[in-house]
Copies of this chain bind each other. A is one copy, B any other.
Amino acid sequence: MSLIVQKYGGSSVQSAERIKRVAERIVAARKAGNDVVVVVSAMGDTTDELLTLAQAVAPVPPARELDMLLTSGERISNALVAMAISALGAQARSFTGSQAGVITTSAHGKARIIDVTPGRIQAALDDGAIALVAGFQGVSQDTKDITTLGRGGSDTTAVALAAALDADVCEIYTDVDGVFTADPRIVPDAQQLNTISYEEMLEMAASGAKVLMLRCVEYARRYEVPVHVRSSYSDQAGTLVTGTIADQSAKEIAVEQALITGVAHDRSEAKVTVTNVPDHPGVAAKVFRTIADAEIDIDMIVQNISAGMDGRTDITFTLPKADGPRAVSALEARKSEIEFDQVIYNDHVGKVSLIGAGMRSHPGVTATFCEALATADVNIDIISTSEIRISVLVRDTELDNAVRALHTAFDLGGDTEAVVYAGSGI
Protein backbone atom coordinates (compact mmCIF):
# COMPACT_ATOMS: atom_id res chain seq x y z
CA MET A 1 0.00 0.00 0.00
CA SER A 2 1.30 3.38 -0.97
CA LEU A 3 1.16 6.71 0.75
CA ILE A 4 0.22 9.42 -1.74
CA VAL A 5 0.24 13.16 -1.15
CA GLN A 6 -1.93 15.12 -3.58
CA LYS A 7 -2.02 18.87 -4.02
CA TYR A 8 -4.83 20.82 -5.71
CA GLY A 9 -4.61 24.49 -6.64
CA GLY A 10 -7.19 27.23 -6.29
CA SER A 11 -8.80 26.79 -9.68
CA SER A 12 -9.37 23.08 -8.95
CA VAL A 13 -11.56 24.01 -5.98
CA GLN A 14 -13.04 27.29 -7.11
CA SER A 15 -16.69 26.18 -6.81
CA ALA A 16 -18.85 23.61 -5.03
CA GLU A 17 -19.00 21.63 -8.27
CA ARG A 18 -15.24 21.54 -8.73
CA ILE A 19 -14.81 20.60 -5.06
CA LYS A 20 -17.05 17.59 -5.58
CA ARG A 21 -15.04 16.52 -8.63
CA VAL A 22 -11.80 16.76 -6.67
CA ALA A 23 -13.37 14.75 -3.83
CA GLU A 24 -14.23 11.97 -6.28
CA ARG A 25 -10.62 11.81 -7.48
CA ILE A 26 -9.33 11.69 -3.92
CA VAL A 27 -11.74 8.94 -2.88
CA ALA A 28 -10.75 6.93 -5.96
CA ALA A 29 -7.12 7.09 -4.83
CA ARG A 30 -8.15 5.92 -1.37
CA LYS A 31 -10.33 3.12 -2.73
CA ALA A 32 -7.36 1.91 -4.78
CA GLY A 33 -5.84 1.02 -1.39
CA ASN A 34 -3.57 4.00 -0.77
CA ASP A 35 -3.18 6.19 2.28
CA VAL A 36 -4.02 9.63 1.00
CA VAL A 37 -3.01 13.07 2.25
CA VAL A 38 -4.31 16.09 0.35
CA VAL A 39 -3.13 19.70 0.40
CA VAL A 40 -5.62 22.22 -0.94
CA SER A 41 -5.12 25.88 -1.81
CA ALA A 42 -7.78 28.52 -1.14
CA MET A 43 -10.81 28.54 -3.47
CA GLY A 44 -10.36 30.52 -6.67
CA ASP A 45 -9.70 34.17 -5.99
CA THR A 46 -10.26 33.99 -2.24
CA THR A 47 -6.73 35.08 -1.35
CA ASP A 48 -6.95 38.13 -3.60
CA GLU A 49 -10.39 39.00 -2.25
CA LEU A 50 -9.13 38.81 1.32
CA LEU A 51 -6.18 41.02 0.39
CA THR A 52 -8.55 43.59 -1.10
CA LEU A 53 -10.62 43.53 2.08
CA ALA A 54 -7.46 44.00 4.13
CA GLN A 55 -6.39 47.01 2.12
CA ALA A 56 -9.87 48.51 2.52
CA VAL A 57 -9.37 48.70 6.29
CA ALA A 58 -5.63 49.39 6.40
CA PRO A 59 -3.35 50.67 3.60
CA VAL A 60 -0.38 48.79 5.05
CA PRO A 61 -1.80 45.79 6.93
CA PRO A 62 0.53 44.42 9.65
CA ALA A 63 2.18 41.20 8.43
CA ARG A 64 1.11 39.09 11.41
CA GLU A 65 -2.55 40.01 10.93
CA LEU A 66 -2.34 39.49 7.17
CA ASP A 67 -1.22 35.93 7.82
CA MET A 68 -4.11 35.39 10.28
CA LEU A 69 -6.48 36.69 7.61
CA LEU A 70 -5.16 34.94 4.52
CA THR A 71 -4.89 31.50 6.13
CA SER A 72 -8.68 31.48 6.46
CA GLY A 73 -8.87 30.76 2.74
CA GLU A 74 -7.13 27.38 2.99
CA ARG A 75 -9.05 26.52 6.15
CA ILE A 76 -12.31 27.00 4.27
CA SER A 77 -11.36 25.01 1.17
CA ASN A 78 -9.90 22.07 3.12
CA ALA A 79 -12.94 21.78 5.37
CA LEU A 80 -15.20 21.82 2.30
CA VAL A 81 -13.20 19.13 0.52
CA ALA A 82 -13.31 17.02 3.68
CA MET A 83 -17.09 17.42 3.75
CA ALA A 84 -17.41 16.46 0.08
CA ILE A 85 -15.33 13.34 0.73
CA SER A 86 -17.58 12.41 3.67
CA ALA A 87 -20.62 12.80 1.43
CA LEU A 88 -19.09 10.09 -0.79
CA GLY A 89 -18.93 7.74 2.18
CA ALA A 90 -15.22 7.98 2.97
CA GLN A 91 -13.68 9.35 6.15
CA ALA A 92 -11.84 12.65 6.02
CA ARG A 93 -10.36 15.09 8.52
CA SER A 94 -9.01 18.55 7.74
CA PHE A 95 -6.12 20.22 9.55
CA THR A 96 -4.52 23.65 9.57
CA GLY A 97 -0.82 23.88 8.79
CA SER A 98 -0.24 24.33 12.51
CA GLN A 99 -2.25 21.24 13.44
CA ALA A 100 -0.39 19.27 10.75
CA GLY A 101 2.90 20.12 12.42
CA VAL A 102 4.33 22.52 9.82
CA ILE A 103 6.85 24.49 11.88
CA THR A 104 8.31 27.62 10.30
CA THR A 105 10.45 30.71 10.81
CA SER A 106 8.65 33.85 11.99
CA ALA A 107 8.96 35.75 8.72
CA HIS A 108 5.31 36.58 8.09
CA GLY A 109 4.34 36.39 4.43
CA LYS A 110 7.49 34.50 3.45
CA ALA A 111 8.10 32.00 6.22
CA ARG A 112 10.40 29.05 5.57
CA ILE A 113 9.65 25.54 6.79
CA ILE A 114 11.98 24.47 9.61
CA ASP A 115 10.42 21.11 10.38
CA VAL A 116 7.31 19.02 9.80
CA THR A 117 6.01 16.84 12.64
CA PRO A 118 2.84 15.27 11.18
CA GLY A 119 1.73 13.24 14.20
CA ARG A 120 -1.96 14.09 13.85
CA ILE A 121 -1.84 13.37 10.13
CA GLN A 122 -0.35 9.94 10.72
CA ALA A 123 -2.97 9.27 13.40
CA ALA A 124 -5.74 10.15 10.95
CA LEU A 125 -4.21 7.83 8.34
CA ASP A 126 -3.91 5.05 10.94
CA ASP A 127 -7.62 5.51 11.62
CA GLY A 128 -8.24 4.94 7.92
CA ALA A 129 -9.16 8.55 7.20
CA ILE A 130 -8.05 10.81 4.37
CA ALA A 131 -6.15 13.78 5.76
CA LEU A 132 -6.66 17.27 4.33
CA VAL A 133 -4.00 19.84 5.13
CA ALA A 134 -4.30 23.57 4.54
CA GLY A 135 -1.41 24.59 2.32
CA PHE A 136 0.57 27.82 2.26
CA GLN A 137 0.82 28.03 6.08
CA GLY A 138 2.47 26.88 9.24
CA VAL A 139 3.17 28.02 12.80
CA SER A 140 6.21 29.98 13.91
CA GLN A 141 8.59 28.03 16.11
CA ASP A 142 9.43 31.12 18.16
CA THR A 143 6.22 33.10 18.51
CA LYS A 144 3.59 30.37 17.94
CA ASP A 145 1.92 32.77 15.51
CA ILE A 146 0.38 31.55 12.27
CA THR A 147 2.61 32.19 9.23
CA THR A 148 2.18 31.98 5.46
CA LEU A 149 4.87 30.61 3.19
CA GLY A 150 4.87 32.99 0.24
CA ARG A 151 4.51 32.08 -3.41
CA GLY A 152 4.41 28.37 -4.21
CA GLY A 153 3.62 27.77 -0.56
CA SER A 154 0.99 25.10 -1.14
CA ASP A 155 3.26 23.07 -3.44
CA THR A 156 6.01 23.33 -0.83
CA THR A 157 3.62 22.24 1.91
CA ALA A 158 2.70 19.16 -0.13
CA VAL A 159 6.31 18.21 -0.81
CA ALA A 160 7.32 18.85 2.80
CA LEU A 161 4.50 16.61 4.07
CA ALA A 162 5.46 13.95 1.55
CA ALA A 163 9.02 14.06 2.84
CA ALA A 164 7.99 13.91 6.51
CA LEU A 165 5.54 11.07 5.93
CA ASP A 166 7.97 9.22 3.60
CA ALA A 167 5.33 9.23 0.90
CA ASP A 168 5.77 7.23 -2.29
CA VAL A 169 4.86 10.19 -4.47
CA CYS A 170 3.69 13.79 -4.29
CA GLU A 171 1.12 14.51 -7.02
CA ILE A 172 0.82 18.17 -7.96
CA TYR A 173 -2.47 18.68 -9.82
CA THR A 174 -2.45 21.72 -12.04
CA ASP A 175 -4.03 23.10 -15.17
CA VAL A 176 -1.33 21.89 -17.55
CA ASP A 177 -0.65 18.29 -18.56
CA GLY A 178 2.91 18.26 -17.23
CA VAL A 179 6.32 19.74 -17.88
CA PHE A 180 7.01 20.45 -21.55
CA THR A 181 10.14 20.82 -23.65
CA ALA A 182 9.09 24.46 -24.10
CA ASP A 183 6.01 26.63 -23.57
CA PRO A 184 3.42 25.15 -25.98
CA ARG A 185 1.94 28.59 -26.52
CA ILE A 186 5.21 29.63 -28.19
CA VAL A 187 6.29 26.28 -29.62
CA PRO A 188 3.30 24.32 -31.00
CA ASP A 189 5.23 21.07 -31.30
CA ALA A 190 6.57 21.17 -27.74
CA GLN A 191 6.51 17.69 -26.19
CA GLN A 192 5.44 16.60 -22.74
CA LEU A 193 8.31 15.07 -20.76
CA ASN A 194 7.73 11.71 -19.11
CA THR A 195 10.37 12.32 -16.48
CA ILE A 196 12.88 15.03 -15.57
CA SER A 197 15.68 15.03 -13.00
CA TYR A 198 15.54 17.29 -9.94
CA GLU A 199 18.48 19.40 -11.13
CA GLU A 200 17.03 19.91 -14.60
CA MET A 201 13.67 20.86 -13.09
CA LEU A 202 15.47 23.28 -10.79
CA GLU A 203 17.10 24.92 -13.78
CA MET A 204 13.80 25.01 -15.67
CA ALA A 205 12.10 26.68 -12.71
CA ALA A 206 14.97 29.12 -12.20
CA SER A 207 14.92 29.92 -15.90
CA GLY A 208 11.28 30.91 -16.07
CA ALA A 209 9.21 27.72 -16.22
CA LYS A 210 6.26 28.44 -13.91
CA VAL A 211 4.77 24.98 -13.46
CA LEU A 212 6.67 24.37 -10.19
CA MET A 213 8.34 26.89 -7.91
CA LEU A 214 12.05 26.62 -7.29
CA ARG A 215 11.76 26.15 -3.52
CA CYS A 216 9.35 23.26 -3.93
CA VAL A 217 11.69 21.45 -6.35
CA GLU A 218 14.66 22.08 -4.10
CA TYR A 219 12.77 20.59 -1.14
CA ALA A 220 11.84 17.56 -3.24
CA ARG A 221 15.43 17.12 -4.33
CA ARG A 222 16.82 17.37 -0.83
CA TYR A 223 14.46 14.73 0.54
CA GLU A 224 14.21 12.70 -2.67
CA VAL A 225 10.44 13.02 -2.98
CA PRO A 226 9.17 11.96 -6.42
CA VAL A 227 6.91 14.75 -7.69
CA HIS A 228 4.28 13.94 -10.31
CA VAL A 229 3.08 17.08 -12.10
CA ARG A 230 -0.22 16.28 -13.80
CA SER A 231 -3.49 17.71 -14.99
CA SER A 232 -6.50 17.99 -12.68
CA TYR A 233 -8.72 17.78 -15.77
CA SER A 234 -7.73 14.29 -16.95
CA ASP A 235 -6.37 10.96 -15.79
CA GLN A 236 -3.37 11.04 -18.11
CA ALA A 237 0.07 10.61 -16.61
CA GLY A 238 2.00 13.86 -16.33
CA THR A 239 5.70 14.43 -15.76
CA LEU A 240 7.53 12.70 -12.94
CA VAL A 241 10.26 14.81 -11.35
CA THR A 242 12.69 12.37 -9.83
CA GLY A 243 16.26 11.22 -9.91
CA THR A 244 19.46 13.20 -9.69
CA ILE A 245 21.90 13.63 -12.51
CA ALA A 246 24.54 12.15 -10.21
CA ASP A 247 22.62 8.89 -10.69
CA GLN A 248 23.03 9.32 -14.42
CA SER A 249 26.73 10.06 -14.60
CA ALA A 250 27.68 6.56 -13.63
CA LYS A 251 25.75 5.20 -16.58
CA GLU A 252 26.85 5.64 -20.13
CA ILE A 253 24.59 8.05 -21.87
CA ALA A 254 22.95 6.11 -24.66
CA VAL A 255 22.78 7.54 -28.13
CA GLU A 256 18.99 7.65 -28.02
CA GLN A 257 18.92 9.33 -24.61
CA ALA A 258 17.81 12.90 -24.80
CA LEU A 259 20.81 15.19 -24.76
CA ILE A 260 18.72 18.20 -23.95
CA THR A 261 15.56 18.34 -21.81
CA GLY A 262 13.96 21.62 -22.72
CA VAL A 263 13.94 25.33 -23.38
CA ALA A 264 12.68 27.80 -20.77
CA HIS A 265 12.06 31.51 -21.14
CA ASP A 266 11.61 34.39 -18.74
CA ARG A 267 10.14 37.82 -19.45
CA SER A 268 10.30 39.02 -15.87
CA GLU A 269 13.84 40.37 -15.76
CA ALA A 270 15.44 43.70 -16.59
CA LYS A 271 19.05 44.66 -17.17
CA VAL A 272 21.06 47.23 -15.23
CA THR A 273 24.43 48.52 -16.44
CA VAL A 274 26.63 50.59 -14.17
CA THR A 275 29.03 52.36 -16.51
CA ASN A 276 32.62 53.42 -16.15
CA VAL A 277 33.40 52.21 -12.68
CA PRO A 278 37.03 52.17 -11.55
CA ASP A 279 38.50 48.80 -12.42
CA HIS A 280 39.99 47.78 -9.06
CA PRO A 281 39.11 45.45 -6.20
CA GLY A 282 36.12 46.38 -4.12
CA VAL A 283 34.08 48.20 -6.74
CA ALA A 284 31.98 45.20 -7.76
CA ALA A 285 31.49 44.50 -4.06
CA LYS A 286 30.09 48.01 -3.50
CA VAL A 287 27.69 47.64 -6.40
CA PHE A 288 26.34 44.28 -5.26
CA ARG A 289 26.25 45.24 -1.58
CA THR A 290 24.09 48.22 -2.57
CA ILE A 291 21.69 45.93 -4.37
CA ALA A 292 21.74 43.38 -1.55
CA ASP A 293 20.99 46.07 1.05
CA ALA A 294 17.86 46.85 -0.95
CA GLU A 295 16.91 43.17 -0.60
CA ILE A 296 16.96 42.62 -4.35
CA ASP A 297 18.07 39.34 -5.91
CA ILE A 298 20.49 39.39 -8.84
CA ASP A 299 20.50 36.77 -11.60
CA MET A 300 23.03 37.10 -14.44
CA ILE A 301 26.21 39.13 -14.01
CA VAL A 302 28.71 40.40 -16.53
CA GLN A 303 31.73 42.51 -15.87
CA ASN A 304 33.37 43.63 -19.02
CA ILE A 305 37.10 43.17 -19.07
CA SER A 306 38.72 46.53 -18.94
CA ALA A 307 40.24 47.07 -22.38
CA GLY A 308 41.46 50.60 -22.41
CA MET A 309 44.25 52.33 -20.61
CA ASP A 310 41.81 54.26 -18.48
CA GLY A 311 41.29 51.48 -15.95
CA ARG A 312 37.49 51.69 -16.16
CA THR A 313 34.86 49.10 -16.88
CA ASP A 314 31.13 48.46 -16.91
CA ILE A 315 29.23 46.11 -14.62
CA THR A 316 26.00 44.62 -15.93
CA PHE A 317 23.47 42.42 -14.15
CA THR A 318 19.87 41.29 -14.40
CA LEU A 319 17.19 41.44 -11.71
CA PRO A 320 13.37 41.18 -11.47
CA LYS A 321 11.65 44.01 -13.36
CA ALA A 322 9.55 44.72 -10.27
CA ASP A 323 12.73 45.64 -8.39
CA GLY A 324 14.30 47.67 -11.21
CA PRO A 325 13.38 51.21 -10.18
CA ARG A 326 14.40 50.56 -6.58
CA ALA A 327 17.77 49.18 -7.67
CA VAL A 328 18.43 52.23 -9.84
CA SER A 329 17.55 54.59 -6.96
CA ALA A 330 19.76 52.67 -4.55
CA LEU A 331 22.72 52.90 -6.91
CA GLU A 332 22.14 56.57 -7.73
CA ALA A 333 22.14 57.29 -4.00
CA ARG A 334 25.67 55.92 -3.73
CA LYS A 335 27.01 57.36 -6.96
CA SER A 336 29.92 59.27 -5.48
CA GLU A 337 30.99 56.34 -3.39
CA ILE A 338 30.95 53.82 -6.23
CA GLU A 339 32.21 56.42 -8.69
CA PHE A 340 30.26 55.41 -11.79
CA ASP A 341 29.21 57.52 -14.76
CA GLN A 342 25.63 56.45 -15.13
CA VAL A 343 23.15 53.67 -14.46
CA ILE A 344 21.49 52.38 -17.62
CA TYR A 345 18.21 50.53 -17.14
CA ASN A 346 16.78 48.31 -19.87
CA ASP A 347 13.55 46.43 -19.24
CA HIS A 348 13.03 45.33 -22.85
CA VAL A 349 14.96 42.12 -22.44
CA GLY A 350 14.08 38.46 -22.13
CA LYS A 351 16.01 35.40 -21.02
CA VAL A 352 16.03 32.10 -22.89
CA SER A 353 17.66 28.99 -21.41
CA LEU A 354 18.55 25.56 -22.72
CA ILE A 355 18.52 22.87 -20.04
CA GLY A 356 19.83 19.34 -20.20
CA ALA A 357 21.93 16.99 -18.09
CA GLY A 358 23.47 15.69 -21.28
CA MET A 359 25.35 18.87 -22.05
CA ARG A 360 27.94 17.99 -19.46
CA SER A 361 29.32 15.21 -21.59
CA HIS A 362 28.72 16.76 -24.99
CA PRO A 363 30.95 19.59 -26.09
CA GLY A 364 29.55 21.48 -28.96
CA VAL A 365 26.23 22.22 -27.35
CA THR A 366 27.24 25.82 -26.80
CA ALA A 367 28.31 26.08 -30.42
CA THR A 368 25.03 24.65 -31.71
CA PHE A 369 23.22 26.98 -29.34
CA CYS A 370 24.88 30.11 -30.65
CA GLU A 371 24.58 29.00 -34.27
CA ALA A 372 20.86 28.46 -33.89
CA LEU A 373 20.37 31.94 -32.51
CA ALA A 374 22.56 33.49 -35.17
CA THR A 375 20.55 31.78 -37.89
CA ALA A 376 17.40 33.17 -36.34
CA ASP A 377 19.01 36.60 -36.35
CA VAL A 378 18.81 36.86 -32.58
CA ASN A 379 21.53 38.89 -30.96
CA ILE A 380 23.04 37.61 -27.71
CA ASP A 381 23.36 40.32 -25.06
CA ILE A 382 24.60 38.40 -22.02
CA ILE A 383 25.47 34.71 -21.75
CA SER A 384 25.55 32.70 -18.53
CA THR A 385 26.00 28.99 -18.00
CA SER A 386 25.88 26.24 -15.41
CA GLU A 387 26.81 22.58 -15.71
CA ILE A 388 23.45 21.77 -17.24
CA ARG A 389 22.13 25.07 -18.50
CA ILE A 390 22.99 27.80 -21.01
CA SER A 391 21.13 31.10 -20.64
CA VAL A 392 21.25 34.19 -22.77
CA LEU A 393 19.68 37.59 -22.50
CA VAL A 394 18.16 38.85 -25.76
CA ARG A 395 15.89 41.66 -26.92
CA ASP A 396 12.38 40.88 -25.64
CA THR A 397 10.91 41.15 -29.14
CA GLU A 398 13.17 38.32 -30.25
CA LEU A 399 12.45 36.00 -27.33
CA ASP A 400 9.81 33.81 -28.99
CA ASN A 401 11.95 33.33 -32.08
CA ALA A 402 14.90 32.37 -29.90
CA VAL A 403 12.83 29.75 -28.06
CA ARG A 404 11.61 28.22 -31.29
CA ALA A 405 15.04 28.27 -32.90
CA LEU A 406 16.64 26.41 -30.00
CA HIS A 407 13.77 23.95 -29.70
CA THR A 408 14.19 23.03 -33.36
CA ALA A 409 17.99 23.03 -33.33
CA PHE A 410 18.05 20.44 -30.55
CA ASP A 411 15.26 18.28 -32.04
CA LEU A 412 12.95 18.72 -29.12
CA GLY A 413 9.76 18.79 -31.17
CA GLY A 414 7.56 15.83 -32.07
CA ASP A 415 4.46 14.98 -34.06
CA THR A 416 1.88 15.46 -31.32
CA GLU A 417 0.68 19.02 -30.99
CA ALA A 418 0.53 20.03 -27.35
CA VAL A 419 -2.88 20.84 -25.84
CA VAL A 420 -2.93 24.24 -24.24
CA TYR A 421 -5.67 24.97 -21.71
CA ALA A 422 -7.11 28.43 -21.47
CA GLY A 423 -5.50 30.30 -18.64
CA SER A 424 -2.83 27.66 -18.07
CA GLY A 425 0.12 29.08 -16.22
CA ILE A 426 3.13 27.42 -17.78
By a beta-carbon cutoff of 8 Å, the part of chain A in contact with chain B is: 16, 19-20, 23, 50, 53-54, 56-62, 64-66, 68-69, 71-72, 75-76, 78-84, 86-87, 92-94, 99, 120, 144
Bound-state Cα–Cα, A58 to B87, Å: 5
Residues of chain B with a CB closer than 8 A to A87's CB = 57-60
Closest 9 CB pairs of A and B: A16-B56, A69-B79, A58-B87, A58-B83, A68-B79, A57-B84, A72-B72, A61-B83, A65-B82
C-alpha spacing A83/B66, complex, angstroms: 8
Q: Report B-chain residues with C-beta under 8 Å of the C-beta of A86.
A: 58, 61-62, 65
Cβ–Cβ < 8 Å partners of A50 in chain B: 76
Residues on B with C-beta less than 8 A from A144 are 99, 120
Give chain B residues whose Cβ lies under 8 Å from the Cβ of A16: 53, 56-57
Bound: A87/B65 CA distance, A: 12
Cβ–Cβ < 8 Å partners of A56 in chain B: 16
CB distance from A22 to the nearest CB of B (A): 10
User: Could you say which of A82, A87, A120 has the most chain B C-beta atoms within 10 Å of its C-beta?
Assistant: A82
Which residues of B lie under 8 Å from residue A72 when comparing CB positions? 72, 75-76, 79
Given contacts A53-B80, A65-B86, 11 further A-B contacts (CB under 8 A): A53-B76, A54-B83, A58-B86, A62-B83, A62-B92, A65-B80, A65-B92, A66-B79, A72-B75, A72-B76, A99-B144
Say whether A65 contacts B94, CB under 8 Å.
Answer: yes
Distance, CA A94 to CA B54, complexed state (A): 14
Which residues of B lie under 8 Å from residue A78 when comparing CB positions? 68
